Amino acid sequence: MPWPEHHKAQTRERIVEAASAAFREAGISKVSVPDLMRRAGLTHGGFYAHFNSKDELLVEALPHAMSDSTANLDRVESAPARDLLAVANAYLSPQHVSHPEMGCPIAALGPELTRSAPTVRQSLAREIRKRLDQLLALIPRRMTAERKRQQAAGALACMVGGIVLARGMKQSEKPAFLADCRAFLAEALNETNAHT
Amino acid sequence: MPWPEHHKAQTRERIVEAASAAFREAGISKVSVPDLMRRAGLTHGGFYAHFNSKDELLVEALPHAMSDSTANLDRVESAPARDLLAVANAYLSPQHVSHPEMGCPIAALGPELTRSAPTVRQSLAREIRKRLDQLLALIPRRMTAERKRQQAAGALACMVGGIVLARGMKQSEKPAFLADCRAFLAEALNETNAHT
DNA sequence: GACACAATATGATGTTTATCATATTCTTGG
DNA sequence: CCAAGAATATGATAAACATCATATTGTGTC
């Protein structure tokens, strides 16, 4: 083996990292393989020594983006994920809106991923399920399983939709809208709410 | 005028209609001008007699898609928009998930529109504001303006995010997730909730 | 320090794209 | 039914794209 042990694996990782950010920033179809390789400090031809296709890269880049995103959101809260509302508040932040390249790939790429190859769609479905289960685990035990499911689903939907919408709004309207989404969730997730 | 009065305007409208559906179904970047014109029953070259660019078409196709979507959602409920919860329930339906080409363009194209030309982004911002105001108008007067804003924002976010997420999930998990989102909103929008 | 070969770079191919220039067709007023 | 001109179609162009074939470079081993 005339090369350092994990050299190729590291290069591959570098490509995945570049892709993970570039896709979230510019959209999958707007990032060409040459673009990508340039961002990773390489040239276009070498790509296919690492991946059989752009779709195969996507299947790896999506989970990477997802982990990156949750790591970055934890950093905003400076503590890893106390409760569901804390996670939602960090997610629905102006920083998240203005930095898609570090943020949630579902909010940045959801619809485009949905229309991608079957393997990519499967990866997306896995990641959504995982995120939903993560949120579920943050909800107090004393609630019924049904109610917990509803809160996790509703909160995640509100989070993703909130970012998608805020990114589409006039700059001046974004902060108030985000604050409204956070306030909505704060009340909806409040345990003192009346039950049925 | 050797041609029927509104012939050209009608053809233009046909292109906008084809675009409005095709974009929502396949994504903006995956629909080429030749594709588009074929779907409108024309050939590619004539496009630029109607629009100066694909972006200019987008600026028209987006409001068209938005009106089409709300019209279709009213049809699901068979009555035009009673209250916010009724609208949300129609929006968060399995039919909406499985028919993006007739559904909300924000859910189908939001992120891609956000990354489009400035004129397109402005059109998107306008449409979001309009939708938010429509929902706002459905909320009972007796609430404070602040609370109304929060409910409209939270509900719309939950609606858009709910569709984006459901479309990305495994087929078998979609209906339950949508039901959870609806139940979440039913409770969050319930006026009997405790205040603050 | 030369060899073997893995890791990357260069260069090429065929397709698809938006857009434009030119040709053709169709409709109505005469 | 003919002619004018608007409305569409045909054809062309240049750029960008994913992918592949081939050349080059860099590394540890002897």
Distance in Å from C9's C1' to A26's CA comes to 26
Tokens 């909160």 sit on residue: A155
> How far from A25 is each of A3, A69, B57, CA to CA, in Å?
34, 13, 24
Taking only the tens place, the pLDDT of each residue in B141-184 is: 889 999 999 999 999 999 999 999 999 999 999 999 999 999 99
Q: Which two tokens stand for residue A103?
A: 């943020």
- Which residue of A24, A66, A128 to mutate against B (max B Cβ within 10 Å)? A128
B76 has a chain A CB within 8 A of its CB: no
Q: Pick the residue with more confidence: B192 or A45?
A: A45
pLDDT value, residue B82? 78
Q: Is the pLDDT of residue B194 over 60?
A: no
Q: How confident is the model at residue B140 (pLDDT cuts 50, 70, 90)?
A: confident
Torsional sign, CA A189, B139, B146, A166:
positive
Rounded to whole angstroms, the Cα distance separating A121 from A137 reads: 24
pLDDT value, residue B7? 79
A186 has a chain B CB within 8 A of its CB: no
Rounded to whole angstroms, the Cα distance separating B168 from B31 reads: 21
Residue A127: CB partners within 8 Å, gap ≥ 6?
A62, A63, A66, A105, A106
Beta-carbon count within 10 A of A104 CB: 25
Is there a contact between A180 and B107 if contact means CB atoms under 8 Å apart?
A: no
Percent of chain B with pLDDT strictly greater than 90 = 85
- Which residue of B85, B113, B114 to mutate against A (max A Cβ within 10 Å)? B114
Rounded to whole angstroms, the Cα distance separating A166 from A92 reads: 9
- Nearest residue to B30 (alpha-carbon basis) of A112, A167, A114: A112
Q: How confident is the model at residue B24 (pLDDT cuts 50, 70, 90)?
A: very high
Is there a contact between A157 and B153 if contact means CB atoms under 8 Å apart?
A: no
Is there a contact between B168 and A106 if contact means CB atoms under 8 Å apart?
A: yes
Give how far A2 is from chain B: nearest CA, Å: 43
Q: Is the pLDDT of residue B196 over 50?
A: no
Question: Strand D positions with any atom < 7 Å from protein CB?
Answer: 3-12, 16-22, 26-29
- Nearest residue to A189 (alpha-carbon basis) of A74, A77, A84, A81: A84
pLDDT value, residue A78? 67
Interface of B with A in 103-132 (CB under 8 A): 106-115, 121, 124-125, 128-129, 132
Interface of A with B in 35-74 (CB under 8 A): none
Q: How confident is the model at residue B191 (pLDDT cuts 50, 70, 90)?
A: low
Spans in chain A with pLDDT lower than 50: 195-196
The helix or strand, by DSSP H or E, that contains position A187, with its residue range, turns out to be helix A174-188
pLDDT value, residue A74? 84
Taking only the tens place, the pLDDT of each residue in B82-107 is: 799 999 999 999 999 999 999 999 99
Is there a contact between B27 and A112 if contact means CB atoms under 8 Å apart?
A: yes
Please give the DSSP secondary-structure letter assigned to residue B194.
P
Taking only the tens place, the pLDDT of each residue in A65-76 is: 999 999 999 887
If you average pLDDT over every residue of chain B, what do you get?
93
Tokens 């994920």 sit on residue: A81
Between vectors from CA A119 to CA A164 and to CA B172, what angle results, nearest 5°?
75
Structural domains in chain B plus CATH codes: 53-188 (1.10.357.10)
